[in-house]
Amino acid sequence: MTLPAAISVVTLGVTDLERSVAFYQALGWPMSSTSQPGTIAWFRTAGATLGLFPTEALAADAGVPEGGEPVFREVTLAVNLGSREEVDAAMALALEAGADLVKAPVTAEWGGYSGYFADPDGHLWELVHAPGFTLTGDGRVEMPA
């Protein structure tokens, strides 16, 4: 047996579930009807499902101690977009929704264009146009074998 190379759910620990739900809804992300208000929220994306779960509950579920104040977690999440203009527009939307600007979009040394924002709990999101990546009609990245 092998472990399937299929990330199906990404769950973020959040300090204020209602605030985080409002943030992701302000981005225009559709929340699933399977969400349980006050307990957990699920958002449908083009790839994996995004879960929002109170930090202390997520730590308890995993059987690990809660980490305290948000710090760089050595993880970023990315949304690939079709153009530089889409990156700029998405960054403006994220900032309007309450994100903190971490790095304004710039031309990258590898020829792409990207910037970073932090959600209300400090989770880092990269908005990127990567000319070498092919996007499917529903926004997923199509990688060669």
pLDDT by residue (tens digit) across 88-110?
Answer: 999 999 999 999 999 999 999 88
Between 69-73, 101-105, 118-122, 128-132, the lowest mean confidence (pLDDT) is in 69-73
pLDDT in tens, 19-68: 999 999 999 999 999 999 999 999 999 888 999 999 899 888 878 887 76
118 neighbors 102 (Cβ within 8 angstroms): yes
DSSP secondary-structure letter at 34?
T
> Is the pLDDT score of 145 beyond 90?
no
> Is the pLDDT score of 11 beyond 70?
yes
Find the angle CA(98)-CA(119)-CA(107) to the nearest 5 degrees. Answer: 95
Amino acid identity, position 142 = E
The predicted pLDDT at position 69 comes to 60
The predicted pLDDT at position 68 comes to 63
Higher pLDDT, 140 or 41: 41
The predicted pLDDT at position 13 comes to 92
Domains located in the chain, CATH noted: 1-64 (3.10.180.10), 71-138 (3.10.180.10)
